[in-house]
Each structure stands twice: as structure tokens, then as C-alpha cells.
A and B are shown apart, each in its own frame.
Chain A
């Protein structure tokens, strides 16, 4: 395994990290909105949101990826495969995060919300200033698990031609005819990224933990 090949893989890992990070961040934001919709009292909104969650958790990511990739041009949106991939990843992870956040929102003690009502906050203000920040903190372990899942799932975007770690490994394996060292190294790099993410998550958990007062 030459040094040159290794550096190419590491560079590609940077792309993987970037795509994953964007999808995780966007997914949490979208997931927040979707879980808010699921928990809202507006029946049609709640039903639509639950349908969304059910669909994106029930269909394999690969299929979602292909669907988004082919659907966007039909809808008139001609974006790069990378953009399409990120959109698909985001839509998928948002559904899982919405489930995680739904549980977290239901765990926010009722009294804290009543206190916010008593100081005169509107429902939107209560959501943004009190419920969401607390729910996010309660959900950190689950959100982290999902982030790890996204890191792994990002490998699938190679199927629609996005240049990242798996695609690079695959291309190099094809040209050098040495799949074993290349995929093994790629796997190791994923493992390293995985470990970094998990450790970072544990740190975040400690730092932002909402301790029961």
C-alpha cells in the first residue's frame, strides 16, 4: 500500500467527513421541525409529519438516494450528485432524529413549560427558548448514535458517483487491482473517524448534560 494511495484515501475521507457533518447538522435542524410537527395539535400537520417519519425510516437509504437522485431533475432541480446525495441523506436522518427528538420533547418536565407560560412566552418562544434547547440536550446520546449511522451511510453515496472515501477506494481498487489493502485501509479510516465521533460525542454529553436540579 503506497503512501500516495494512502494520502488519496485520507483526502477522500475529508470529503466523507464534510458530507456527513452537513447531513448531520441539517438533519438535526429538519428533525427538530419535523418532531415539532409530529407533536403539534394540528391534526393534518401531525399526520403528514408522521407519514414522513414512517416513510424515511421504512425505506432503505440506498433506495431513497436513487429516488432523490432521479426525482430532482424531473422536478426541474438540476443539482450536482453531491447535492442530491446530501439532500437524500438529510431527509433520511431527519426522520430518525425526529423520532429521537420526539421522545426527548415528551421528557421535558411539564413544569418548565408552565413556568415559561407564566412569564408570558408565546408558544413559539417557549419552543425555541425552553423546549427545544432542553430536548436537544436530553437527546444527545441518541443524536450521536444517528450521527455515527450517517457516517456509515455516507459510504452509499458512492453509488451515485459522489467522490468520497468509498468511491475513491473503489476506483483505486479497480485501477490497481488490489482491493484488499485498499478496502481494508478505507475500513480503518472509517474506524478512526468513528472513534473520534464517539469520543467527541461523549465529551459533548458530559458538557451539555442537563442534570436534574
Chain B
């Protein structure tokens, strides 16, 4: 077997852009996931029975089916309901909704884990519902959900690869494309693997670092 990395080196600019695309996709999808997840979690908590039921259905559906199917449904099926999107925005939306549903579950568990006593104390000093949410519940919950949240964040890095199937020019699409052009599949895919491995390791480390820093604010049960 011929491990000729020089072959692949010439494609460095293209790989660079692809890496930026992947990281960009990941960051935006992660941010969107957190926002969507929070929104869903809070809505299910305070929105009344109908909202709870509807959102529950959506979350169960997203968590119970493969991401690839969701992606296909949006990108290929979307136009039939008036939702025509370019591949990159479609991928981003699908990823955000996917991540958002998983995040919402983590947030729901986190919200429930905040001790009731803390809420009651806040009520006693006169904070209203939204203030409690913003100033007490959510900050406390953020610390609790960090480990599970980091897991989802890392998972999202890996899910970006699936976007290659609809042709989004991220790392997997570009590097495996290089592989087909040069017939140096194994070298290209090995490089690709190493890229993701590095990204995931970095993300996991950052997560652990954040956990350590925030452990000061954790409720010592």
C-alpha cells in the first residue's frame, strides 16, 4: 500500500476551505441547537398541554429517526411543500433542528434537576417567573447540562459529515472527492479521519475544561 501524502498536499487550499465550512457549519448549528433546544424545553414547561404534546411529537420523531432521512425529507421533499432551499442552508437547518431536539431533552432534564428550593427562594424574594427563568433556573441548569451538552456538541461535529451526501462542500465531500479524483482513496480518507479525530478531541477537551471551570458553581448535593 502506497501512503503518498504528497499527492494530497497539493489540494491544501481546497481542504482548508472545506475545513472552514465544516467548522462554520458546526458552530452555527451548535448555536442554533442551543437556542432551539432551550426554546423547546421552556415551551414544553410553560406552554400548556397542547404545546407540550405537539413539541413532544416533533422531538420524538426527530430523535427516533436517522438524521439522513430528516435531511432528505427537508432537501428533496421540502420543495413539494413550498420549502425550496440550497444545499448548505438546508443542511444547516436540518442539523440545527436535529441538534435542537436532542438539546431540548438535555435541557428538560437539567431544568428538572435544579432543586425546587432554589426556585422557591427566588419566589420568596419577589422575582417574577421570567426573572426566575433568566437569573436562576437557566444559569444553574447550564452547569448541570454541560457534560451531556458537550456530548451532543461533539456528535454534531460528526453529523456534519452526513451533509456531504447532499453535496454540501464540507470536509468529507471535498476530501473524498479528492480521493476519487486521484484514486488515492485510502490516503484521503485517512487524512479525513485524522481531521475529525483532531476536531473531536479538541472539542472534548474544551468541554472538560469548561466543566472544570464551572464546577465551582455546581450545587453540591
A: which residues have CB within 8 A of B?
Answer: 54-55, 57-64, 66-67, 70-71, 74-75, 151-156, 158-159, 166, 169-170, 173, 179-180, 183-184, 186-187, 190-191, 194-195
Q: Can you list 5 A-B contacts (CB < 8 A)?
A: A59-B200, A180-B81, A183-B77, A187-B61, A187-B65
Q: Are B65 and A63 closer than 8 Å at their CB atoms?
A: no
Contacts of B3-34 to chain A: CB distance below 8 A: none
The range of chain B's interface size is 35 or more
Known contacts A61-B158, A63-B172, A184-B73: does B68 contact A158 (CB below 8 Å)?
A: yes
Q: Are B200 and A173 closer than 8 Å at their CB atoms?
A: no
Q: Which of A55, A70, A180 contacts B185 (CB 8 A)?
A: A70
Which of B76, B159, B179 counts the most A-chain CB atoms under 10 A from its CB? B76
Bound together, the chains give a CA A55 to CA B192 distance in angstroms of: 12
Shortest Cβ gap from A137 to chain B (Å) = 24
Residue B142 interfacial (CB < 8 Å):
no
Residue B109 interfacial (CB < 8 Å):
no
Chain A proximity mask over B62-86: 1 for CB below 8 Å, otherwise 0: 0011111110110011001100000
Chain A proximity mask over B33-73: 1 for CB below 8 Å, otherwise 0: 00000000000000000000000000011001111111011
Bound together, the chains give a CA A166 to CA B70 distance in angstroms of: 11
List 8 A-B pairs, minimum CB-CB distance, nearest first: A155-B66, A180-B77, A60-B161, A179-B76, A60-B158, A70-B185, A58-B200, A194-B64
Q: Are A67 and B66 closer than 8 Å at their CB atoms?
A: no
Q: Are B190 and A67 closer than 8 Å at their CB atoms?
A: yes
Known contacts A66-B176, A67-B193, A70-B185: does B68 contact A60 (CB below 8 Å)?
A: no
- Chain B hits for A170, CB < 8 A: 72
Q: Are A183 and B72 closer than 8 Å at their CB atoms?
A: yes
